[in-house]
Protein backbone atom coordinates (compact mmCIF):
# COMPACT_ATOMS: atom_id res chain seq x y z
CA UNK A 1 0.00 0.00 0.00
CA UNK A 2 2.54 2.50 1.25
CA UNK A 3 4.90 1.62 -1.62
CA UNK A 4 2.15 2.29 -4.14
CA UNK A 5 1.30 5.66 -2.62
CA UNK A 6 4.95 6.63 -2.77
CA UNK A 7 5.23 5.51 -6.38
CA UNK A 8 2.10 7.48 -7.30
CA UNK A 9 3.52 10.58 -5.67
CA UNK A 10 6.77 10.09 -7.58
CA UNK A 11 4.83 9.65 -10.84
CA UNK A 12 2.97 12.88 -10.18
CA UNK A 13 6.22 14.64 -9.47
CA UNK A 14 7.69 13.34 -12.73
CA UNK A 15 4.64 14.48 -14.73
CA UNK A 16 4.73 17.87 -13.04
CA UNK A 17 8.48 18.37 -13.60
CA UNK A 18 8.13 17.56 -17.31
CA UNK A 19 4.93 19.58 -17.79
CA UNK A 20 6.30 22.74 -16.17
CA UNK A 21 9.69 22.65 -17.90
CA UNK A 22 10.52 25.84 -19.81
CA UNK A 23 14.10 26.44 -20.90
CA UNK A 24 13.52 30.17 -20.51
CA UNK A 25 12.27 29.90 -16.91
CA UNK A 26 14.58 27.66 -14.95
CA UNK A 27 14.63 27.33 -11.16
CA UNK A 28 17.74 27.57 -8.97
CA UNK A 29 17.29 23.87 -8.07
CA UNK A 30 17.56 23.04 -11.74
CA UNK A 31 20.97 24.70 -12.04
CA UNK A 32 22.29 22.66 -9.11
CA UNK A 33 20.86 19.37 -10.37
CA UNK A 34 19.06 19.30 -13.74
CA UNK A 35 19.04 15.48 -13.94
CA UNK A 36 15.67 14.73 -12.25
CA UNK A 37 14.05 17.12 -14.76
CA UNK A 38 15.93 15.57 -17.66
CA UNK A 39 14.81 12.14 -16.52
CA UNK A 40 11.18 13.26 -16.23
CA UNK A 41 11.32 14.69 -19.76
CA UNK A 42 12.95 11.58 -21.19
CA UNK A 43 10.27 9.39 -19.61
CA UNK A 44 7.16 11.45 -20.29
CA UNK A 45 7.86 14.08 -22.98
CA UNK A 46 11.06 13.21 -24.89
CA UNK A 47 10.22 15.60 -27.74
CA UNK A 48 8.89 18.48 -25.66
CA UNK A 49 7.41 21.63 -27.13
CA UNK A 50 8.61 24.81 -25.40
CA UNK A 51 6.31 27.83 -25.04
CA UNK A 52 8.43 29.65 -27.67
CA UNK A 53 7.68 26.98 -30.29
CA UNK A 54 11.04 25.22 -30.19
CA UNK A 55 11.40 21.52 -29.27
CA UNK A 56 13.59 20.06 -26.53
CA UNK A 57 15.01 16.54 -27.15
CA UNK A 58 16.21 14.29 -24.32
CA UNK A 59 16.46 10.72 -25.70
CA UNK A 60 19.82 9.38 -26.82
CA UNK A 61 18.49 7.88 -30.06
CA UNK A 62 16.69 11.10 -31.04
CA UNK A 63 19.87 13.13 -30.52
CA UNK A 64 21.87 10.71 -32.67
CA UNK A 65 19.21 10.96 -35.40
CA UNK A 66 19.37 14.76 -35.37
CA UNK A 67 23.18 14.93 -35.27
CA UNK A 68 23.55 12.45 -38.13
CA UNK A 69 20.88 13.88 -40.44
CA UNK A 70 22.46 17.17 -41.52
CA UNK A 71 20.08 17.44 -44.48
CA UNK A 72 17.03 17.75 -42.22
CA UNK A 73 18.72 19.35 -39.17
CA UNK A 74 20.70 22.42 -40.13
CA UNK A 75 23.43 24.17 -38.10
CA UNK A 76 23.26 27.37 -40.18
CA UNK A 77 22.38 30.30 -37.93
CA UNK A 78 22.01 33.08 -40.49
CA UNK A 79 18.22 33.14 -40.48
CA UNK A 80 17.93 32.92 -36.73
CA UNK A 81 20.64 35.46 -35.86
CA UNK A 82 19.93 38.12 -38.49
CA UNK A 83 16.95 39.64 -36.63
CA UNK A 84 18.61 39.09 -33.24
CA UNK A 85 21.98 40.71 -33.89
CA UNK A 86 21.50 42.84 -37.02
CA UNK A 87 24.55 43.67 -39.12
CA UNK A 88 27.01 43.43 -36.20
CA UNK A 89 30.37 41.83 -35.53
CA UNK A 90 28.60 39.35 -33.34
CA UNK A 91 26.44 38.28 -36.28
CA UNK A 92 29.51 38.07 -38.47
CA UNK A 93 31.30 35.95 -35.89
CA UNK A 94 28.54 33.45 -35.27
CA UNK A 95 27.67 33.00 -38.91
CA UNK A 96 31.30 32.57 -40.01
CA UNK A 97 32.52 30.00 -37.49
CA UNK A 98 32.34 26.41 -38.73
CA UNK A 99 30.05 25.17 -35.99
CA UNK A 100 27.18 27.32 -37.27
CA UNK A 101 27.48 26.41 -40.94
CA UNK A 102 26.33 23.58 -43.19
CA UNK A 103 28.19 22.14 -46.18
CA UNK A 104 29.88 23.32 -48.35
CA UNK A 105 31.33 26.08 -46.08
CA UNK A 106 31.44 23.76 -43.09
CA UNK A 107 33.22 20.98 -44.99
CA UNK A 108 35.92 23.33 -46.30
CA UNK A 109 36.68 25.04 -42.98
CA UNK A 110 36.53 21.79 -41.01
CA UNK A 111 39.03 20.09 -43.31
CA UNK A 112 41.55 22.87 -42.66
CA UNK A 113 40.99 22.86 -38.90
CA UNK A 114 41.15 19.07 -38.62
CA UNK A 115 44.44 19.14 -40.50
CA UNK A 116 45.82 21.47 -37.87
CA UNK A 117 44.51 19.32 -35.00
CA UNK A 118 45.95 16.07 -36.37
CA UNK A 119 46.88 13.23 -33.98
CA UNK A 120 50.54 13.98 -34.65
CA UNK A 121 50.15 17.68 -33.81
CA UNK A 122 48.33 16.73 -30.60
CA UNK A 123 50.89 14.07 -29.60
CA UNK A 124 53.56 16.76 -29.89
CA UNK A 125 51.75 18.87 -27.31
CA UNK A 126 52.00 16.24 -24.57
CA UNK A 127 55.41 17.25 -23.21
CA UNK A 128 54.47 20.94 -22.87
CA UNK A 129 51.18 19.96 -21.29
CA UNK A 130 52.85 17.81 -18.61
CA UNK A 131 55.31 20.61 -17.82
CA UNK A 132 52.46 23.13 -17.56
CA UNK A 133 50.37 20.92 -15.26
CA UNK A 134 53.35 20.12 -13.02
CA UNK A 135 54.21 23.80 -12.78
CA UNK A 136 50.65 24.60 -11.61
CA UNK A 137 50.79 21.73 -9.10
CA UNK A 138 54.13 23.03 -7.76
CA UNK A 139 52.57 26.43 -7.22
CA UNK A 140 49.54 24.93 -5.44
CA UNK A 141 51.80 22.82 -3.21
CA UNK A 142 53.29 25.96 -1.67
CA UNK A 143 49.87 26.76 -0.13
CA UNK A 144 47.43 24.64 1.82
CA UNK A 145 44.32 26.29 0.28
CA UNK A 146 43.64 26.98 -3.38
CA UNK A 147 40.88 27.44 -5.92
CA UNK A 148 40.41 24.37 -8.09
CA UNK A 149 39.13 26.42 -11.04
CA UNK A 150 41.28 29.57 -11.05
CA UNK A 151 44.51 27.99 -9.85
CA UNK A 152 44.22 24.80 -11.87
CA UNK A 153 41.37 23.85 -14.23
CA UNK A 154 41.06 27.18 -16.06
CA UNK A 155 44.79 27.77 -16.27
CA UNK A 156 45.39 24.71 -18.47
CA UNK A 157 43.22 25.12 -21.62
CA UNK A 158 44.04 28.78 -21.99
CA UNK A 159 47.76 27.96 -22.22
CA UNK A 160 47.08 25.06 -24.58
CA UNK A 161 45.02 27.22 -26.94
CA UNK A 162 47.67 29.93 -26.61
CA UNK A 163 50.28 27.37 -27.75
CA UNK A 164 47.98 26.10 -30.49
CA UNK A 165 47.51 29.55 -31.97
CA UNK A 166 51.09 30.58 -31.17
CA UNK A 167 50.09 33.57 -29.04
CA UNK A 168 53.27 34.93 -27.38
CA UNK A 169 53.30 34.32 -23.59
CA UNK A 170 53.33 38.01 -22.72
CA UNK A 171 50.08 38.51 -24.68
CA UNK A 172 48.13 35.68 -23.04
CA UNK A 173 46.93 37.43 -19.91
CA UNK A 174 43.67 38.73 -21.47
CA UNK A 175 42.81 35.51 -23.34
CA UNK A 176 40.65 34.05 -20.59
CA UNK A 177 38.68 37.24 -20.09
CA UNK A 178 38.16 37.59 -23.82
CA UNK A 179 36.94 34.07 -24.01
CA UNK A 180 34.47 34.54 -21.17
CA UNK A 181 33.32 37.91 -22.50
CA UNK A 182 33.26 36.98 -26.15
CA UNK A 183 29.53 37.43 -26.51
CA UNK A 184 29.65 40.96 -25.19
CA UNK A 185 32.88 42.37 -26.53
CA UNK A 186 34.28 41.11 -29.76
CA UNK A 187 36.07 44.24 -30.90
CA UNK A 188 39.27 44.04 -28.84
CA UNK A 189 39.72 40.40 -29.84
CA UNK A 190 39.46 41.20 -33.50
CA UNK A 191 42.03 43.99 -33.26
CA UNK A 192 44.63 42.02 -31.32
CA UNK A 193 44.13 38.79 -33.19
CA UNK A 194 44.37 40.64 -36.49
CA UNK A 195 47.78 41.95 -35.45
CA UNK A 196 48.84 38.41 -34.50
CA UNK A 197 47.69 37.06 -37.87
CA UNK A 198 49.58 39.78 -39.72
CA UNK A 199 52.77 38.99 -37.82
CA UNK A 200 52.39 35.27 -38.57
CA UNK A 201 51.72 35.99 -42.22
CA UNK A 202 54.96 37.95 -42.42
CA UNK A 203 56.89 35.37 -40.39
CA UNK A 204 55.29 31.91 -40.65
CA UNK A 205 55.82 29.36 -37.87
CA UNK A 206 56.15 25.59 -38.28
CA UNK A 207 52.88 24.48 -39.96
CA UNK A 208 53.22 21.02 -38.36
CA UNK A 209 52.82 22.51 -34.89
CA UNK A 210 51.28 25.92 -35.30
CA UNK A 211 47.58 25.93 -36.13
CA UNK A 212 47.53 29.57 -37.11
CA UNK A 213 50.32 29.15 -39.67
CA UNK A 214 48.58 26.08 -40.96
CA UNK A 215 45.28 27.89 -41.35
CA UNK A 216 46.95 30.86 -43.05
CA UNK A 217 48.81 28.66 -45.49
CA UNK A 218 45.86 26.38 -46.16
CA UNK A 219 45.95 22.97 -47.75
CA UNK A 220 48.37 21.90 -50.42
CA UNK A 221 45.60 22.07 -53.02
CA UNK A 222 45.44 25.82 -52.50
CA UNK A 223 42.24 25.89 -50.47
CA UNK A 224 42.50 28.77 -48.03
CA UNK A 225 40.35 30.63 -45.54
CA UNK A 226 39.52 34.25 -46.25
CA UNK A 227 40.92 36.76 -43.74
CA UNK A 228 37.53 37.04 -42.06
CA UNK A 229 36.97 33.30 -41.90
CA UNK A 230 40.41 32.91 -40.40
CA UNK A 231 39.81 35.44 -37.62
CA UNK A 232 36.38 34.21 -36.67
CA UNK A 233 37.44 30.58 -36.63
CA UNK A 234 40.45 31.40 -34.42
CA UNK A 235 38.11 33.15 -32.00
CA UNK A 236 35.82 30.16 -32.15
CA UNK A 237 38.73 27.79 -31.36
CA UNK A 238 39.67 29.95 -28.40
CA UNK A 239 36.12 29.77 -27.09
CA UNK A 240 35.36 26.16 -27.96
CA UNK A 241 38.47 24.85 -26.31
CA UNK A 242 38.54 26.96 -23.21
CA UNK A 243 35.47 26.81 -21.02
CA UNK A 244 34.48 23.28 -22.03
CA UNK A 245 37.85 21.83 -21.06
CA UNK A 246 38.03 23.89 -17.86
CA UNK A 247 34.70 22.35 -16.94
CA UNK A 248 35.79 18.81 -17.81
CA UNK A 249 38.71 19.12 -15.37
CA UNK A 250 36.69 21.03 -12.71
CA UNK A 251 33.57 18.82 -12.89
CA UNK A 252 35.71 15.68 -12.96
CA UNK A 253 37.65 16.55 -9.79
CA UNK A 254 34.49 17.74 -7.99
CA UNK A 255 32.66 14.50 -8.88
CA UNK A 256 35.60 12.40 -7.67
CA UNK A 257 35.67 14.31 -4.38
CA UNK A 258 31.98 13.45 -3.89
CA UNK A 259 32.39 9.78 -4.86
CA UNK A 260 35.03 8.54 -2.46
CA UNK A 261 34.88 4.93 -3.70
CA UNK A 262 35.54 5.86 -7.33
CA UNK A 263 38.29 8.27 -6.28
CA UNK A 264 40.08 5.53 -4.33
CA UNK A 265 39.60 3.18 -7.28
CA UNK A 266 41.27 5.61 -9.66
CA UNK A 267 44.13 6.29 -7.22
CA UNK A 268 44.68 2.52 -6.89
CA UNK A 269 44.39 2.03 -10.67
CA UNK A 270 45.85 5.08 -12.44
CA UNK A 271 45.75 3.12 -15.70
CA UNK A 272 41.95 3.60 -15.63
CA UNK A 273 42.30 7.32 -16.38
CA UNK A 274 41.06 6.99 -19.97
CA UNK A 275 37.73 5.34 -19.10
CA UNK A 276 37.47 7.63 -16.06
CA UNK A 277 37.69 10.75 -18.26
CA UNK A 278 35.01 9.32 -20.58
CA UNK A 279 32.76 8.75 -17.59
CA UNK A 280 33.35 12.31 -16.36
CA UNK A 281 32.39 13.56 -19.82
CA UNK A 282 29.21 11.47 -19.75
CA UNK A 283 28.16 12.04 -16.15
CA UNK A 284 28.64 15.82 -15.95
CA UNK A 285 28.90 16.88 -19.60
CA UNK A 286 30.48 20.31 -19.79
CA UNK A 287 28.47 21.20 -22.88
CA UNK A 288 24.89 20.21 -22.06
CA UNK A 289 22.92 21.63 -24.98
CA UNK A 290 23.21 21.78 -28.76
CA UNK A 291 21.00 23.45 -31.35
CA UNK A 292 19.68 22.69 -34.80
CA UNK A 293 16.91 23.97 -37.08
CA UNK A 294 14.74 21.67 -39.18
CA UNK A 295 14.93 22.57 -42.87
CA UNK A 296 12.43 19.98 -44.05
CA UNK A 297 9.36 18.40 -42.43
CA UNK A 298 10.44 15.51 -40.21
CA UNK A 299 8.89 13.06 -37.80
CA UNK A 300 10.50 12.67 -34.40
CA UNK A 301 9.19 10.77 -31.38
CA UNK A 302 5.83 10.38 -33.12
CA UNK A 303 5.50 14.14 -33.70
CA UNK A 304 5.48 15.81 -37.13
CA UNK A 305 7.79 18.82 -37.02
CA UNK A 306 7.52 21.34 -39.87
CA UNK A 307 10.54 22.90 -41.59
CA UNK A 308 11.84 25.91 -39.64
CA UNK A 309 11.42 24.37 -36.16
CA UNK A 310 14.23 25.27 -33.72
CA UNK A 311 15.49 22.19 -31.86
CA UNK A 312 17.48 21.95 -28.63
CA UNK A 313 19.47 18.74 -28.20
CA UNK A 314 19.96 17.94 -24.53
CA UNK A 315 23.30 16.14 -24.28
CA UNK A 316 23.07 16.08 -20.46
CA UNK A 317 19.82 14.08 -20.65
CA UNK A 318 20.88 11.76 -23.51
CA UNK A 319 24.05 10.86 -21.61
CA UNK A 320 21.92 9.43 -18.80
CA UNK A 321 19.44 7.58 -20.98
CA UNK A 322 18.97 4.04 -19.56
CA UNK A 323 18.20 2.79 -23.09
CA UNK A 324 21.89 3.42 -23.89
CA UNK A 325 23.67 3.29 -20.51
CA UNK A 326 22.93 0.59 -17.90
CA UNK A 327 22.46 2.17 -14.45
CA UNK A 328 22.97 5.66 -15.93
CA UNK A 329 22.85 7.62 -12.65
CA UNK A 330 25.84 5.66 -11.38
CA UNK A 331 29.30 7.19 -11.78
CA UNK A 332 31.50 4.26 -12.82
CA UNK A 333 35.07 5.09 -13.88
CA UNK A 334 35.41 1.69 -15.55
CA UNK A 335 32.27 2.01 -17.70
CA UNK A 336 32.68 0.38 -21.13
CA UNK A 337 31.26 0.75 -23.67
CA UNK A 338 30.61 4.44 -23.09
CA UNK A 339 29.37 5.95 -26.31
CA UNK A 340 28.41 9.28 -24.75
CA UNK A 341 27.47 12.37 -26.74
CA UNK A 342 29.55 14.92 -24.79
CA UNK A 343 31.38 15.74 -28.04
CA UNK A 344 28.19 15.26 -30.14
CA UNK A 345 28.41 12.93 -33.16
CA UNK A 346 28.14 13.21 -36.94
CA UNK A 347 29.57 15.91 -39.19
CA UNK A 348 30.01 18.51 -36.43
CA UNK A 349 31.49 16.18 -33.83
CA UNK A 350 33.98 18.14 -31.72
CA UNK A 351 37.12 18.81 -33.74
CA UNK A 352 39.16 19.19 -30.54
CA UNK A 353 38.09 16.05 -28.72
CA UNK A 354 41.46 14.31 -28.86
CA UNK A 355 43.06 17.40 -27.38
CA UNK A 356 40.36 17.77 -24.70
CA UNK A 357 40.79 14.11 -23.72
CA UNK A 358 44.56 14.50 -23.47
CA UNK A 359 44.22 17.65 -21.34
CA UNK A 360 41.65 15.97 -19.08
CA UNK A 361 43.71 12.80 -18.61
CA UNK A 362 47.00 14.58 -17.87
CA UNK A 363 45.46 17.21 -15.59
CA UNK A 364 43.32 14.84 -13.54
CA UNK A 365 45.79 11.98 -13.21
CA UNK A 366 48.71 14.22 -12.17
CA UNK A 367 46.52 16.19 -9.77
CA UNK A 368 45.35 12.98 -8.07
CA UNK A 369 48.86 11.56 -7.84
CA UNK A 370 50.08 14.75 -6.18
CA UNK A 371 47.13 15.54 -3.89
CA UNK A 372 45.26 12.28 -3.23
CA UNK A 373 43.70 13.77 -0.07
CA UNK A 374 42.39 17.00 -1.63
CA UNK A 375 39.01 18.14 -0.35
CA UNK A 376 36.51 20.91 -1.01
CA UNK A 377 36.47 23.23 2.01
CA UNK A 378 33.96 25.93 1.04
CA UNK A 379 30.88 26.58 -1.06
CA UNK A 380 31.57 25.96 -4.78
CA UNK A 381 30.14 28.66 -7.07
CA UNK A 382 28.42 27.40 -10.21
CA UNK A 383 28.73 29.18 -13.55
CA UNK A 384 24.96 29.63 -13.54
CA UNK A 385 24.46 28.64 -17.14
CA UNK A 386 22.46 25.77 -18.51
CA UNK A 387 24.46 25.19 -21.70
CA UNK A 388 27.93 25.17 -20.16
CA UNK A 389 27.86 23.21 -16.93
CA UNK A 390 30.70 23.96 -14.55
CA UNK A 391 32.03 26.00 -11.65
CA UNK A 392 33.45 29.50 -11.43
CA UNK A 393 35.21 28.70 -8.18
CA UNK A 394 35.76 25.68 -5.92
CA UNK A 395 37.67 26.38 -2.68
CA UNK A 396 39.89 23.41 -1.81
CA UNK A 397 42.58 22.21 0.57
CA UNK A 398 45.45 20.09 -0.72
CA UNK A 399 45.28 17.76 2.29
CA UNK A 400 49.05 17.40 2.03
Contacts with ligand HEM by CB under 6 A lie at 75, 98-99, 110, 113, 237, 240-241, 244-245, 248, 286-287, 290, 342-344, 348, 350-352, 355-356
Q: Comparing C-alpha atoms, which of 48, 18, 69, 2 is closest to residue 348? A: 69
Helix or strand or coil: residue 1?
coil
Closest distance of CB 261 from ligand HEM, Å? 24
Closest distance of CB 157 from ligand HEM, Å? 6
- Residue 196 CB neighbours (<10 A): 18
Measure the CA–CA gap between 295 and 72, rounded to whole angstroms: 5
Strands, sheet with 47-49, edge to edge from the N-terminal-most edge strand? 47-49, 55-57, 310-314, 289-294, 73-74
Closest distance of CB 17 from ligand HEM, Å? 25
- Choice between 346 and 372, CB closer to ligand HEM: 346
Measure the CA–CA gap between 388 and 398, rounded to whole angstroms: 27
Q: Comparing C-alpha atoms, which of 394, 367, 285 is closest to residue 331? A: 285
- Choice between 290 and 380, CB closer to ligand HEM: 290
User: Of all residues in this chain, which one has the CB nearest to ligand HEM in the complex?
Assistant: 352
Q: Comparing C-alpha atoms, which of 336, 333, 340, 334 is closest to residue 318? A: 340
- Choice between 140 and 342, CB closer to ligand HEM: 342
List all residues 6 or more positions away from 11 whose beta carbon is below 8 Å from its beta carbon: none
- Which CA distances in Å does 173 have to 128, 164, 245, 272? 18, 16, 18, 34
- Choice between 40 and 248, CB closer to ligand HEM: 248
- Choice between 285 and 398, CB closer to ligand HEM: 285
- Residue 307 CB neighbours (<10 A): 12
- Please list the alpha-helical segments (H only) found in 225-299: 227-258, 260-268, 273-283
Closest distance of CB 320 from ligand HEM, Å? 16
Q: Comparing C-alpha atoms, which of 315, 309, 281 is closest to residue 295? A: 309
- Choice between 154 and 248, CB closer to ligand HEM: 248
- Choice between 287 and 398, CB closer to ligand HEM: 287
Do 333 and 262 contact (CB within 8 A), yes or no? yes
- Choice between 40 and 122, CB closer to ligand HEM: 122
- Choice between 239 and 398, CB closer to ligand HEM: 239
Q: Comparing C-alpha atoms, which of 163, 154, 234 is closest to residue 194? A: 234
Closest distance of CB 177 from ligand HEM, Å? 18
Closest distance of CB 342 from ligand HEM, Å? 5
Closest distance of CB 93 from ligand HEM, Å? 14
Strands, sheet with 145-147, edge to edge from the N-terminal-most edge strand? 145-147, 395-397, 375-376
Closest distance of CB 295 from ligand HEM, Å? 15
List all residues 6 or more positions away from 215 whose beta carbon is below 8 Å from its beta carbon: 112, 113, 116, 225, 230, 233, 234
Closest distance of CB 348 from ligand HEM, Å? 3
Helices 227-258, 105-116: crossing angle, 10 deg rounding: 60
Measure the CA–CA gap between 373 and 31, rounded to whole angstroms: 28
- Choice between 40 and 112, CB closer to ligand HEM: 112
Closest distance of CB 142 from ligand HEM, Å? 29
Amino acid sequence: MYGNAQENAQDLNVQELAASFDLEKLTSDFYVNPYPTYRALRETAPVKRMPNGSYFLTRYDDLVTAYKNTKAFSSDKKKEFAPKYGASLLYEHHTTSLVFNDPPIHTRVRRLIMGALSPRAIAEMEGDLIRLVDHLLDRISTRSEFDLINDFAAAIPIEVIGNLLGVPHEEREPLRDWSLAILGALEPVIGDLEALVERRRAKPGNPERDVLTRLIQGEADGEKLTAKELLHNCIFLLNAGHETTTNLIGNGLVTLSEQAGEKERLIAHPEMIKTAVEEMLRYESSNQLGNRMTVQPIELGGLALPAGTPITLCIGAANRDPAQFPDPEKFDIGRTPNRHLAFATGAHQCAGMALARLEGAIAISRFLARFPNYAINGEPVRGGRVRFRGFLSVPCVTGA
